[in-house]
Amino acid sequence: MNKPASVPEQFDAVVVGAGFSGLYMLYRLRQLGLSVKVFDSAGDVGGTWYWNRYPGARCDVPTTDYTFSFDPELEKEWTWSEKYATQPEILEYLRFVADRHELRSDIEFSTAVTAARWDEPAKQWVITTGGGREVRCRHYIMATGCLSVAKSPDIEGAERFAGPVYFTSRWPHEGVDFTGQRVAVIGTGSSGIQSIPLIARQASQLTVFQRTANFSIPAHNGPAPAETLRQLDEGRDAYRDAARWSRGGVPVEPTDVLAGAASEEVRRERFEAAWQQGELFGILNIFADQGVNPAANDIVAEMIREKIRATVNDPETAEALCPRGHYFGTKRPCLDTGYFETFNLPHVRLVDLRKEPIVSITEDGIETAGESFGFDAIVYATGFDAMTGALVGADVTGRDGLTLKDKWVAGPSTYLGLMTTGFPNFFMLTGPGSPSVLSNMAVSIEQHVDWVAGCLKDLRDEGLETIEPTELAEAGWNQHNQDCAAITLHPTANSWYMGANVPGKPRVFLPYIGGVGAYRQACDDVVTQDYLGFTRTGPGAVRCTDGVIRSMQPDVAMVMEFVNALGLPAMETLSAAEARALMAATAEDRPPGPEVGEVTDGVIPGPDGDLPYRLYRPAGPPEGPRPVVVYFHGGGWVLGNLDSDDPLCRDLCARSGAVVVSVNYRHAPEVRFPAAALDAFAAVQWADANAIELGGIPGQLAVAGWSAGANVAAVACQLARDAGGPRITGQLLICPAVDSDLTRPSYEENGDGYILTTALMRWFWDHYADPADRGDPRAAPLRGDLAGLPPACIVAADFDPLRDEGVAYARALEAAAVPVRLTRARGHTHTSVTMVDVVISGAPVRAEMAAALGNFFPAAEPRAHVS
């Protein structure tokens, strides 16, 4: 019964949506004893499964996994009939859940929420429904779905067609009989691929209009997989728990097989096994590198294309159905039952819109650039305004009149995909910035709902009324979200994950790709750190622990996890010889770095005997001399050699187009300070004197080094200046050790846990130089006279104990009028920027280094491209 608008109803919480999310949210809020009202514009529960009734509609995550786990009794009472259940069965299941927990009494169906406004003085949301009715609540929760707003067809003349038009996402409840009809299907995403084989069974003619060919694999549907059932029988809780901490919300052991390293036989075997299994998380997990490495991805993509060619009889149609132009997995792959086979039927035809675009829809058909088609019915399977459509579709206005639509004009901004600054007590379930559509959503939904319920309980228990993320935390999460996407191939695709299917929608990667388990951990960590990044208020109380929950690059974090799991001894507990052996052993299996034109080894005369060097010459044109970079490896003056920094030297050479000469200097403790520095200076003198023999351009000489190598490179610059030559045109100092003072804050902040520790740095200094020598500028170049030094590029990594001395050196050089560029290796450690082809997020930093080298040699030729 509607009440007059002047006396609004009041609830603790209003939830919009009665699909998986809304139903479970209602259940949990009731458990907390809160008063709740749920609205849905649908006529019943089910959400996605209420609306998408097109023929062939099924889930694409096995139903044994795509199911609620919060109620063990419910799990016992419900048995899924198939591996991938049909829409009617999933809808029946959600009805069963609603009935079992008597949820309907708090749900109002056929009621759209059109607006919501935050009333700051009352600390309440005012919700407006379609009829203009208002209700008030303390907490406003949008469980409105990621794929619930259909994308409008945006095709010229769409409204002119006189016959029936169907949208897969709003299919008539009574079904459609296409018998004897000429039918057009526009769109070949998941819904198109599921429905086309079934529509083809009825239609007298079926014409499929395809803009983008999509990857699809056979579902091999049938009974629920015996293996999953066995695992569930033996330990349901353990199985569900494994799903909660998995990457995708289904317990799948991630592979460590790399496509590039596997033999053809192993590749085929793994591919065939995944093909036969017919599961998304299987085909996406054939090789560890298929989602990040273009060459690895091509191997899988080509094997799928082979399958399509082997299935479709007409070679031209087969070729048109072969996906090209996007990497496999960067658009949601589809699962099908007889999709490609359908194109062998005589009455089914494919129109490739890339070759023959639609010009207009007419009264009785479709006109393409090359042909006119007559149709009795048109089916649009054109997808959704995904992830943000429903959220910005309802007019949400937060504090100070800020609307969600305006706030997100350049792309959504959230903290954990759950909340957004300026909108207190406003929660999104599976919002942008959460794993959502990249995961088994049943698992992600339960996690989100549980987190929100826990949060509301904590607020109440602590006598607080409002919660809202801070700007710092939200910006940090957005950055982390984009960092996670950037190391994958995803941002290269025009996908709905990127908002690219909706004209005018900003191109931002919408879901969180760091994984379900990693995401859960982040959410849990936020809570255990006293709701880090949230401001919570109550009568007379403001509580806020501000901060960023994840600021390390995701691939750096993975490397750290891997290294920590190895349980290696701390280097500073070893002898120098043992430490060297350990370093060599850990480098054994790493990727070699990019190809360069030529690598030659030799020796140069040092102050006290020969010093080995390795020269890297770039591949390709131009022939003739190049600038020369003399490079010094890292390793705390104790460790390292020409091999240890080989991939980095290759990378610098390939990116910069310069000849790189890596010189090995004498090591401590065998030979102590100032031997390494003197060797470095001798190497620079030698390279300058022998520029022509090295294939260099005389006068175009820079130095570079990493860590202790950067120390000796910096010292060489000071010695060269003092000696009146040679002329060095630039210095690239990567995470340099430039001072012996180990008390700067970064030694405290990053002193433990990031491979290079404060203790290890102390060990290095103890091996290299007597305390009395450590203030000498040849040991601590920061303490020297910096005037007249060559231009510098200094790389300082966030999680490096040496970060602050690198920054201090940059400032000091600047103060001495030396041109300097400070490059922040955001989210990196001391070692991660050098891990070529292991830490993908290091590539942009190394590109900056190469650009800096290029700037030292303004006349140099263009560089080779290294991704």
Ligand X SMILES: Cc1cc2nc3c(=O)[nH]c(=O)nc-3n(C[C@H](O)[C@H](O)[C@H](O)COP(=O)(O)OP(=O)(O)OC[C@H]3O[C@@H](n4cnc5c(N)ncnc54)[C@H](O)[C@@H]3O)c2cc1C
Binding site for ligand X (CB under 6 A): 16-22, 39-42, 47-48, 50, 52, 57, 59-61, 66, 112-113, 143-148, 191, 390, 394, 429-430, 440-441, 445
Beta strands 182-186 and 205-210 are: parallel
Nearer to ligand X by Cβ, of 499 and 709: the residue is 499
Nearer to ligand X by Cβ, of 101 and 744: the residue is 101
Nearer to ligand X by Cβ, of 145 and 791: the residue is 145
Q: How far, in Å, CA of 391 to CA of 346, rounded? A: 44
Kindly state the smallest distance separating residue 511's Cβ from ligand X, in Å: 12
Nearer to ligand X by Cβ, of 130 and 569: the residue is 130
Q: How far, in Å, CA of 641 to CA of 630, rounded? A: 14
Nearer to ligand X by Cβ, of 430 and 746: the residue is 430
Q: How many residues does the chain have?
A: 867
Nearest 10 degrees: CA dihedral of 296, 297, 299, 302? -170
Nearer to ligand X by Cβ, of 300 and 441: the residue is 441
Kindly state the smallest distance separating residue 215's Cβ from ligand X, in Å: 16
Place of tokens 């937060």: 398
Beta bridge partners of 335: 217
Kindly state the smallest distance separating residue 82's Cβ from ligand X, in Å: 12
Q: Which two tokens stand for residue 40?
A: 């849905």
Q: Are 700 and 624 in contact (CB under 8 A)?
A: no
Beta strands in 551-597 (DSSP E): none
Kindly state the smallest distance separating residue 213's Cβ from ligand X, in Å: 19
Kindly state the smallest distance separating residue 442's Cβ from ligand X, in Å: 6
Kindly state the smallest distance separating residue 452's Cβ from ligand X, in Å: 13
* Neighbour-count burial for 230-247, b at 16+ CB within 10 Å, e otherwise: ebbeeeeeebbebbbebb
Beta strands 36-39 and 9-16 are: parallel
What are the residues whose beta carbons fall under 8 Å from the beta carbon of 634, sequence distance 6 or more?
640, 644, 645, 705, 706, 707, 708, 709, 710, 734, 735, 834
Nearer to ligand X by Cβ, of 146 and 795: the residue is 146
* Neighbour-count burial for 790-819, b at 16+ CB within 10 Å, e otherwise: bbbbbbbbbbbbbbbbbbbbbebbeeeebe
Burial of residue 134 (number of CB atoms within 10 Å: 0-12, 13-18, 19+): middle
Beta strands 9-16 and 134-142 are: parallel
Kindly state the smallest distance separating residue 104's Cβ from ligand X, in Å: 14
Kindly state the smallest distance separating residue 569's Cβ from ligand X, in Å: 44
Kindly state the smallest distance separating residue 28's Cβ from ligand X, in Å: 14
Place of tokens 């005369």: 605
Nearer to ligand X by Cβ, of 383 and 777: the residue is 383
785: left (phi over 0), alpha (psi -120 to 50) or beta: beta
Place of tokens 């891990």: 835
Kindly state the smallest distance separating residue 717's Cβ from ligand X, in Å: 58
Q: Which two tokens stand for residue 503?
A: 């004209």
Nearer to ligand X by Cβ, of 214 and 440: the residue is 440
Nearer to ligand X by Cβ, of 335 and 560: the residue is 335
Beta strands 626-632 and 659-663 are: parallel
Nearer to ligand X by Cβ, of 431 and 640: the residue is 431
Kindly state the smallest distance separating residue 429's Cβ from ligand X, in Å: 6
Nearer to ligand X by Cβ, of 24 and 799: the residue is 24
Burial of residue 255 (number of CB atoms within 10 Å: 0-12, 13-18, 19+): middle
Name the helix (H) or strand (E) containing 711.
helix 708-723
Q: How far, in Å, CA of 697 to CA of 693, rounded? A: 10
Kindly state the smallest distance separating residue 394's Cβ from ligand X, in Å: 4
Taking the CA atoms of the chain, what radius of gyration do you get in angstroms? Answer: 31
Q: For residue 630, which phi and psi values (nearest 5 degrees)?
A: -90, 120
Beta bridge partners of 36: 13
Q: For residue 523, which phi and psi values (nearest 5 degrees)?
A: -65, -40
Nearer to ligand X by Cβ, of 450 and 465: the residue is 450
Q: Which two tokens stand for residue 799?
A: 């999680």
Kindly state the smallest distance separating residue 194's Cβ from ligand X, in Å: 7
Q: How far, in Å, CA of 498 to CA of 489, rounded? A: 12
Nearer to ligand X by Cβ, of 55 and 705: the residue is 55
Kindly state the smallest distance separating residue 378's Cβ from ligand X, in Å: 19
Nearer to ligand X by Cβ, of 242 and 851: the residue is 242
Residue type, 665: Y
Kindly state the smallest distance separating residue 473's Cβ from ligand X, in Å: 24
